[in-house]
Structure 1
Amino acid sequence: MKMRHGAFAYTWDLVGDPAGAERIAGLGVSTVTLQAAYHSVRAITPWHPRHRVVQAEHAAAYFRLRPDRWRGRLRPYPPSWGVSDEDRFGTALAALAEAGLRAEAWMVLTHSTVLGREAPDLTVRNAYGESYPYALCPAQPDVHEYALTLVREVCEQYDVPALMLEACGWLGAEHAGHHEKTSGAHLSACGRALLSICLCPACRAGLAGRGLDVEELARDVRAAVDGELQEGVPAGTSLDDVLGRERAQALYGHRGQVIGDLVRAVAALAGGRELLLMATDDPQVTGPDVGIDLASFDAPVDAYVLKYWGQEEAAVAQVKAAASRTDVPLVANLTVLEDGHARIPALAADLVAGGARQLRYYHAGLGSPARLASVRAAARLKESSC
């Protein structure tokens, strides 16, 4: 896998800004991870000549929508903000190509509040029977087909060399949205993981097929969560502690099978394009980066995109641990949006030395001049240095 430096970008960073693509090229990166299907967000646009804040009210497809291709219950919405362009992804791709940049299609598959509200029976449902509308459950056949249609439409319409898959599994209890009021109860990481277990009908069937008594599982989850919330009794340090190793492994096996089936189906549609899977090496984790066991996950991916945000020493230890567990190339996702961004060049070098084969910087459209200068400095790390 060739060493590349890349930056994330939104279509609204480029469409309507004649200088946008050249500005990203000036960072020294060769690749742009460009949003093709994305969740709702409020974003700053410091450089755009026509706007400063984009309020993307709902999840949307930024590529050209062909209504006759969508036959299932779930159909993406077009964006209704910013410039008027029915193919913002294609317009942005053309601008990036003209600037000599390689573009990857950034695809968020199971994170859509607008669709979850329309079809609550297709969303993640916790042990209390409560729906998470932002989280479409990938075990549901309609969600699986929706995700594949997103991929199929991008692959049929655009000559992109790679797909970066985000939210390719379950989103769980942790979700930054609305005016979040869930932190004061002090649920542990294990408690949040318990609230992230999906027990929708499709997941119940999958878990029962692995020999679990799903009603007993739901009762045990509720007892452990209520023990934390109402009595202050820690649930444990991991799902193994609460559920027992056998039941936890059955849960992870169900998740791994569903995620693997989706990735294999995507690979069949990708036509030889690189598949980059946003992941984390912990099957307990739910969220935009799928929790999997890197050592045993057997779906055909070309690289795992691992997020190294936060404390530097932990990031270096994590990349070394991941590299020791898999032969699949690792792409390090670094953010320049946090304090300490001046250390990004040194951290990038350390991550490459620790086993990362490529680097992606988050985010070309959101960074201040000083933060983008850190990207520019990090991108001077050449292939010969790796």
Structure 2
Amino acid sequence: MPVGFWVFPWDIEDEGIDRFAARLDELGVTSASPSVLYHSGRALLPRAREHKVRLLGGPGANYPFESLETPLAGMESASAPGTGKRFWQGLAEARSDRGIRLNAWAMPMHGSELGRRLSVAVVRNCFGNPYSYALCPSHPQARRFAESLVGELARSRIFHAIQLESVGYLGYRHFHHHEAEYVGHGPLEELFLSLCFCDACMAGARREGISVVELRESISRDLERRWRDDVWSVGVEDVREALAANDDLQAFISYRQATVASLVSSLAELCHSESTELHCFSAIFPPTLEHSTWIEGTDFAAWSRVLDRLIVFGYTAGGPGAAKVDEGWTRSELEYAGRYFDPSRVNVVLNLAPQYLATLDDARRRFRTISEMGFNDLSITNYGMTSETRLDWVPELGRVLDAPASST
């Protein structure tokens, strides 16, 4: 059964391409998804020779893009492979020799550097405040950037698939550095703060007959009232009631889904014209509510008609007892995805970190649960951030996947 790894290019460069490819072979890994465009952050890399802690800031392109226009040209990361395109061509040759699929992992709508360079196209909440880490998929310049990026990767013929981790609306919960909030905050407040009311979204909503100015003002007033009165939502029912009570809110959600679906369709066409697959994450972070990826504009029904593969998270909670919580959550989310996508077209991402899977037995159970549901394409995040001990679990987990259900 296929098992893949998400990986940063600097981890490959640190090990050397040949050693990296050989290690994947030893682990029984069948695909690798190196990051070609990433956001700001901090990575703890326990197996790195030198940079055990790597700060990821500034420009985030790890691939030497040539087709991007100003102001997005020249975004190459300081951590990008020093040999440029030769690194990627060498990686393609090494994976071809060993039968490993090479995919390109990109975040076209997420990154503080993207927002800094293209500030006119960032998400803006109901108060008009910009989310500088998020480009808005309604904005023509953001869409052109995504199309340029995906088109160049597909034309390179280096990659089996382009895998997009951010293609929709990044909401309030998709963090910026040093987040702080000291008021009650539940799923309805998160939804309200995740809606974009930039000029492009406002214009698009008006074309759909939505009273979007009134909607923005209503949401702003409701948030201010909640903060003033120290009240907040506690569950999914609050969200359902808000949607049922406001036709414009429902229509605005549908508009967002149609906007993202049209972008995904355009990107899929670019990929398919170059015999390259397009895979998209259902959401950039696991949702806080069941089946709520629509908050980011995801529309499984529309996506299923154009995507080669949907990518979903198989973990979410973290912390004590996470394995038990996550197993039920994973089952529910996969059943939901399975209504629209055949399981053979779904990749499930797992994380072997202790806060998600405390023991090898926990990992075995999670892999077995997913396999028994018929989902046979799994990947693990992240190669360089996984300890040697847990990396050594992978062959055993592969055997769990390959074993008949009755013997596991």
Q: Same fold (TM over 0.5)?
A: yes
* Structure 2 Cα separation of the partners of residues 298 and 350 of structure 1: 24
Amino acid at match of 2:300: L
Q: Which is further off, 91-100 or 166-175?
A: 91-100
Q: Which is further off, 17-26 or 220-229?
A: 17-26
Q: Which is further off, 344-353 or 234-243?
A: 234-243
The match for 2:332 among 317, 331, 335 is: 317
Q: Does structure 2 retain, via aligned residues, the 8 Å contact 1:346–1:378?
A: no
Q: Which is further off, 38-47 or 129-138?
A: 38-47
Q: Does structure 2 retain, via aligned residues, the 8 Å contact 1:35–1:107?
A: yes
Q: Which is further off, 258-267 or 51-60?
A: 51-60
- The gaps in structure 1 that reach 5 residues or longer are none
The match for 2:346 among 330, 335, 340 is: 330
* Structure 2 Cα separation of the partners of residues 7 and 126 of structure 1: 35
Amino acid at match of 1:252: I
Alignment correspondent of 2:168: 169
1:117 aligns with 2:134: no
Q: TM-score, normalised by structure 2?
A: 0.85
Q: Identify if the C-alpha distance between structure 1 residues 357 and 130 changes in structure 2 by more than 3 Å, giving closer, same or farther.
A: same
Amino acid at match of 1:372: L
Shift of 1:91: 4.5
1:264 aligns with 2:265: yes
Shift of 1:248: 3.2
Q: Identify if the C-alpha distance between structure 1 residues 230 and 14 changes in structure 2 by more than 3 Å, giving closer, same or farther.
A: same
Alignment correspondent of 2:151: 152
The answer to which structure has the higher strand fraction is 1
- The gaps in structure 2 that reach 5 residues or longer are 284-290, 318-325
* Structure 1 Cα separation of the partners of residues 117 and 104 of structure 2: 26
Alignment correspondent of 2:375: 356
Alignment correspondent of 1:252: 253
Q: Identify if the C-alpha distance between structure 1 residues 41 and 99 changes in structure 2 by more than 3 Å, giving closer, same or farther.
A: farther
Q: Identify if the C-alpha distance between structure 1 residues 90 and 11 changes in structure 2 by more than 3 Å, giving closer, same or farther.
A: farther
Report the identity percentage.
25
Q: Identify if the C-alpha distance between structure 1 residues 80 and 125 changes in structure 2 by more than 3 Å, giving closer, same or farther.
A: same
* SS of alignment partner, residue 377 of structure 2: strand
Q: What does 1:25-36 correspond to in 2, within 5 Å? A: 25-36=25-36
CA offset digits 1:113-158 (Å, max 9, x no partner): 1121233221000000000000011110100010111111111224
* SS of alignment partner, residue 311 of structure 2: strand
* SS of alignment partner, residue 79 of structure 1: coil
Alignment correspondent of 1:200: 198
* Structure 2 Cα separation of the partners of residues 82 and 71 of structure 1: 19
Shift of 1:8: 0.8
Coordinate RMSD, CA, aligned = 2.4
Shift of 1:294: 2.2
Q: Identify if the C-alpha distance between structure 1 residues 186 and 373 changes in structure 2 by more than 3 Å, giving closer, same or farther.
A: farther
Q: What does 1:1-386 correspond to in 2, within 5 Å? A: 3-18=1-16, 19-66=19-66, 69-71=67-69, 73-75=71-73, 77-81=75-79, 84-87=82-85, 88-182=87-181, 184-235=182-233, 237=236, 238-243=238-243, 244=245, 246-270=247-271, 271-280=274-283, 281-286=291-296, 291-297=297-303, 299-309=305-315, 310=317, 311-327=326-342, 329-339=345-355, 340-341=357-358, 342=360, 343-382=362-401, 385=404
Number of residue pairs aligned between Structure 1 and Structure 2: 377
Q: Identify if the C-alpha distance between structure 1 residues 326 and 157 changes in structure 2 by more than 3 Å, giving closer, same or farther.
A: closer
* SS of alignment partner, residue 262 of structure 1: helix
* Structure 2 Cα separation of the partners of residues 338 and 277 of structure 1: 26
Amino acid at match of 1:45: L
Amino acid at match of 2:79: W
